[in-house]
Amino acid sequence: MKLIAPSYYPAFSCIADQCRHSCCIGWEIDIDDKTAQCYRTFSGKIGDRMRTNIDFSADPPHFILQGAEERCPFLNERGLCDIILTCGEDALCQICTDHPRFRNFFSDRTEIGLGLCCEAAAALVLGWEAAVTMIDLSDNGENTEPTEEEQTFFALRDSLIAVLQNREQPLDVRIDKMLSVVGGVRFDDMRPWAEFLSGLEILDAVWTAALETVGDEMEVLPGHTGEQLMVYLLMRHLPKMLDGEDPATLASFAVLGYDLICALYASSPEHDFVSLCELVRLFSSEIEYSEENLYAVFDEIASSCP
């Protein structure tokens, strides 16, 4: 069984106290059983803090967020994690260890990627110059074969990504070609979509404010950022076709994400890499990281597909 990741993956590291949108603020973090058991009996002052600041009666247990900002009780005033500082990274629960990583599971491999809701991941992925490839991180020697369905999926995804990475053509041409392969749909006006997304569950009012600025203009994203965004969205979401989602809808979602970012970037007061990453981070947090919102968008796309 192999562990496979996009080529930028090994270059990731959390920027901790430099992070402006820490994943330790505003998210209720569930603690896996094994770690909860360990935290319940931890000794010393940190153990006392664990017993006071974790809701063990909840299923699953979770950290009790603090104040209006909803900070993790172990995020100190310097923006660092007291559990890591006191007990080391190995003491983290599974979600804290994993974030912002996500995984897709197949018969012969697990694919691991970096979610764009993390600003450090967004900067790494969008700023990656070379065309992304998949690299082997490890192989436990267990030989399993992909199913026929998975082989079809891999072949389709490889062919769509190859179209997107053909840098001899403008990205818009590549995107239209990619969509024509799967019979997807591309929306030429982002304003109705901005209105639709505003009606979904919202985490941060900044997202609503950004959606309100969407007009009829689109701005081509600089360098290879648009290609990297498209490739990321396909790598992450196209595997859902193995769970029964329509590949045309999933590819259309990737294009919708790209086009929406182009529209948001066009109406943004700032036009630099940092503000682009921030728009992508917002999109990812609000849509990709809310299953409810994500599937509402899929349904809306599906209802518009021919």
In the chain, beta strands by DSSP E: 2-6, 54-55, 62-63, 101-105, 109-114, 134-139
Output the smallest distance, CB 62 to ligand SF4, in A.
17
Output the smallest distance, CB 242 to ligand SF4, in A.
28
Output the smallest distance, CB 121 to ligand SF4, in A.
6
The smaller minimum CB distance to ligand SF4, of residues 259 and 278, is found at 278
A 10 A CB-CB count for 271 gives 11
d(CA 122, CA 284): 9
Output the smallest distance, CB 19 to ligand SF4, in A.
3
The smaller minimum CB distance to ligand SF4, of residues 16 and 202, is found at 16
Output the smallest distance, CB 263 to ligand SF4, in A.
25
Output the smallest distance, CB 63 to ligand SF4, in A.
14
The smaller minimum CB distance to ligand SF4, of residues 22 and 35, is found at 22
Determine contact, residues 284/297, Cβ cutoff 8 Å.
Answer: no
The smaller minimum CB distance to ligand SF4, of residues 115 and 184, is found at 115
The smaller minimum CB distance to ligand SF4, of residues 14 and 95, is found at 14
Phi then psi for residue 141, to 5 deg, are: 85, -10
The smaller minimum CB distance to ligand SF4, of residues 171 and 280, is found at 280
Phi then psi for residue 42, to 5 deg, are: -60, 145
Q: Is the dihedral of CA 222, 224, 230, 235 positive or negative?
A: negative
The smaller minimum CB distance to ligand SF4, of residues 99 and 174, is found at 99
Output the smallest distance, CB 119 to ligand SF4, in A.
6
Output the smallest distance, CB 18 to ligand SF4, in A.
8
Binding site for ligand SF4 (CB under 6 A): 14-16, 19, 22-23, 99-100, 118-120
Q: Report helix, strand or coil for 184.
A: coil
Angle made by CA atoms 184, 187, 191, in degrees to the nearest 5: 150
222-227: long-range contacts at Cβ-Cβ below 8 A with a sequence spacing of 24 or more? Answer: 222/273, 222/276, 223/129, 224/128, 224/129, 224/131, 224/167, 225/126, 225/127, 225/273, 225/276, 226/171, 226/258, 226/262, 227/131, 227/164, 227/165, 227/167, 227/171, 227/174
A 10 A CB-CB count for 142 gives 8
The smaller minimum CB distance to ligand SF4, of residues 115 and 226, is found at 115
d(CA 306, CA 303): 8
